[in-house]
Amino acid sequence: NAGVTQTPKFQVLKTGQSMTLQCAQDMNHEYMSWYRQDPGMGLRLIHYSVGAGITDQGEVPNGYNVSRSTTEDFPLRLLSAAPSQTSVYFCASSTEDTQYFGPGTRLTVL
Amino acid sequence: ILNVEQSPQSLHVQEGDSTNFTCSFPSSNFYALHWYRWETAKSPEALFVMTLNGDEKKKGRISATLNTKEGYSYLYIKGSQPEDSATYLCACPSGGYQKVTFGTGTKLQVIP
């Protein structure tokens, strides 16, 4: 039982490049979320999903896309990376009341 | 977006001291209040989920209380140990359980 896994652990992009951050969970949770963590800002919700095929925007969705084709996977796409997207990204899957976080992806956009 | 605030921002205590910190949240349309513990270079881990006014939860030396009428929760650590050093986050869902707003955290350092 791996819990929540995220790949890659680290990534450096140039402005304008695209990439997908992968997130997978093996706990059969319906709910999954993406957060970004910036100094002094805490965790901010980017997008979330309440089940396969259902996604919604969080607090800071601009510049990011998500999809949820299976219960297990919830990838986060950056279509055209910007320096403002330099951050640590956490994926979480959850029951109704407890979130389980992945190890994070540290992204730097130059 | 809910306004979830935590204080203090950081805290240094001596080993053996007891300490507490605060999470404030809007008292209207309250669903739940979550506490997480976040050690450096790790991921946040759930401590407590609190839903009822007057709730009190305890795990070892850590306990939490909830006042939904006035919109605050306290986290207490009794006899702090160096391994308690971490950032403690509180979070509130709104518009359903999955749209969660986190506070910015209280960073606790316990000095041996």
Parts of chain B with a pLDDT under 50: none
Q: How confident is the model at residue A95 (pLDDT cuts 50, 70, 90)?
A: confident
Q: Do strands B72-77 and B86-93 pair parallel, antiparallel, or not at all (unpaired)?
A: unpaired
Quote the pLDDT of residue A108: 97
Measure B4 CA to nearest chain A CA, in Å.
Answer: 11
Nearest to A29 by CA among A104, A103, A92, A102: A92
Minimal C-alpha gap between A50 and chain B (Å): 7
pLDDT tens, position by position, A29-57: 999 999 999 988 889 999 999 999 999 99
CB distance B98–A50 less than 8 Å? yes
Q: Is B33 on the interface with A (CB under 8 A)?
A: no
Mean pLDDT for A58-70 is 95
A30-52 burial code (b ≥16 CB/10 A, e <16): bbbbbbbbeeeebbbbbbbbbeb
Task: Please give, rounded to a whole number of angstroms, the shortest distance from the CA of A97 to a CA of chain B.
Answer: 7
pLDDT of residue B27: 87
Give B10: exposed, middle or buried? Use CB within 10 Å, 0-12, 13-18, 19+. exposed
- CB contacts, 8 Å: A48 with chain B: 98-99
Residue B34 forms contact with A (CB below 8 Å): yes
Q: Report how many Cβ contacts below 8 Å link chain A to chain B.
A: 55
| Statement: residue A1 has pLDDT above 80 | no
Q: Note whether B11 contacts A: Cβ–Cβ < 8 A.
A: no
Query: In the prediction, which pLDDT does B60 show?
Result: 95
Taking 80 as the threshold, does the pLDDT of residue A86 lie above it?
yes
- Residues of chain A positioned with their CB less than 8 A from the CB of B96: 50
